Amino acid sequence: MQNFKAIYTQLIKEEANKLGFMFCGISKAEFLEDDAPRLEKWLQNGYHGEMGYMENYFDKRLDPRKLVDGAKSVISFALNYYTDQSQLDTNAPKISKYAFGFDYHIVIKEKLKQLLEIIREKIGEVDGRAFVDSAPVLDKAWAKRAGFGWIGKNSNLLNKRSGSFFFLAELIVDLELEYDSEASTDHCGTCTRCIDACPTDAIVGPYIVDGSRCISYLTIELKNEIPSEFKGKMDNWMFGCDVCQDVCPWNKFSILTTENSFQPHPELLEMNAKDWQEITEETFKVVFKNSPVKRTKIAGLKRNISFLKPEV
């Protein structure tokens, strides 16, 4: 008798590989019992800042069966975005690597849509939903369960062979598949480079990030004025921050992305400090067309750039 679970699992992983995903792993869709108290404590400590949406759908964040009726499997994916290119003017306000190119939400959603179509075409009627960082799903918890790696002291998912410069996403489906083994080994050891290097002391303890102090939060999520206590501590970041990843020893194993959509916009890399100070709506629309940076709008980016100016 044929083992259809094994056949379907192999098919999905092969197709994911063809679509350019770095990893594809599968977990049983069930309640994330270990993560519930951690998430509850993190919220109680106010580490989500003004991200009020983090308090919503608490039960759905922990149980994928509440997101997809009859869910049996959580298929996790990782898509590499690492580039060794950088902004040419070392004095220019900095943008996180993940935002150099096309918006990853759009890129990954399209890939997952294609994969779901292939699954339905080759396996049959499968109900499922794609999730790319914009719904109540604990990406890192599922990626860890799928065997991608371990959660590092900077709270990012780390992999021994390729570091952490990759996006995570999921397909939650009502199809029973073969499940991967969870990555249980933590390879951070006694290293505290990410904790020591964080400009705003957002990593308040190993594996605990106070999101309300994180530069990514301050430059992207925070809609009000950036608190004055962070003046002079932003390390010249105007959108996102890569510090805790850049200093992580495991990221010396990062490999260059082959995803063309994530190649940096050439004009973005060429803009100098003066160009950023004087950025116009027209330039913003050209440089950040279909970019994650559009999220801040030009007003948000200008707020960030202005905040980085040293006090006279």
Same domain, 15 and 152: yes
Q: Exposed, middle or buried: residue 34 (CB in 10 Å: 0-12, 13-18, 19+)?
A: exposed
Amino acid residing at 201: D
| pLDDT at site 1 | 43
Least confident segment among 32-36, 92-96, 201-205, 256-260: 32-36
List, in sequence order, every beta strand (DSSP E) within the chain. 23-28, 73-80, 94-95, 128-131, 150-151, 157-158, 166-173, 203-205, 208-209, 237-239
Q: What distance in Å separates the CA atoms of residue 57 and residue 38, rounded to the nearest whole number? A: 15
Instruction: From 292, 197, 179, select the one nearest 243 (Cα to Cα).
Output: 197
Residue 92 lies in a domain: no
Residue 188 lies in a domain: no
**252-290 residue pLDDT tens:** 999 999 999 999 999 999 999 999 999 999 999 999 999
Query: Which entry of 63, 89, 127, 133 is annotated as an active-site residue?
Result: 133
Same domain, 140 and 200: no
Same domain, 143 and 35: yes
Tokens (6 digits) for 174:
């009502």
Please give the residue range of the domain that contains residue 121: 4-85+101-173
Same domain, 153 and 230: no
Same domain, 136 and 212: no
**191-238 residue pLDDT tens:** 999 999 999 999 999 999 999 999 999 999 999 999 999 999 999 999
Q: Exposed, middle or buried: residue 15 (CB in 10 Å: 0-12, 13-18, 19+)?
A: middle
Helix-, strand-, coil-residue percentages of the chain, each rounded to 5: 40, 15, 45
Same domain, 221 and 132: no
Residue 91 lies in a domain: no
- How far is C-alpha 177 from the chain's CA centre? 25
Same domain, 248 and 161: no
Same domain, 155 and 249: no
Residue 204 lies in a domain: yes
Instruction: From 221, 251, 218, select the one nearest 235 (Cα to Cα).
Output: 218
Q: The CATH number of the domain where 108 resides is what?
A: 3.40.109
| pLDDT at site 213 | 97
- Once rounded to an integer, what is the mean pLDDT over residues 290-297? 93
Check: CB of residue 295 under 8 Å from CB of residue 95: no
| Sign of the Cα pseudo-torsion (47, 49, 55, 60, in order) | negative
Same domain, 199 and 166: no
133 as an active site residue: the answer is yes
Residue 167 lies in a domain: yes
Residue 21 lies in a domain: yes
Residue 219 lies in a domain: yes
Q: What distance in Å separates the CA atoms of residue 36 and residue 38, rounded to the nearest whole number? A: 6
Residue 90 lies in a domain: no
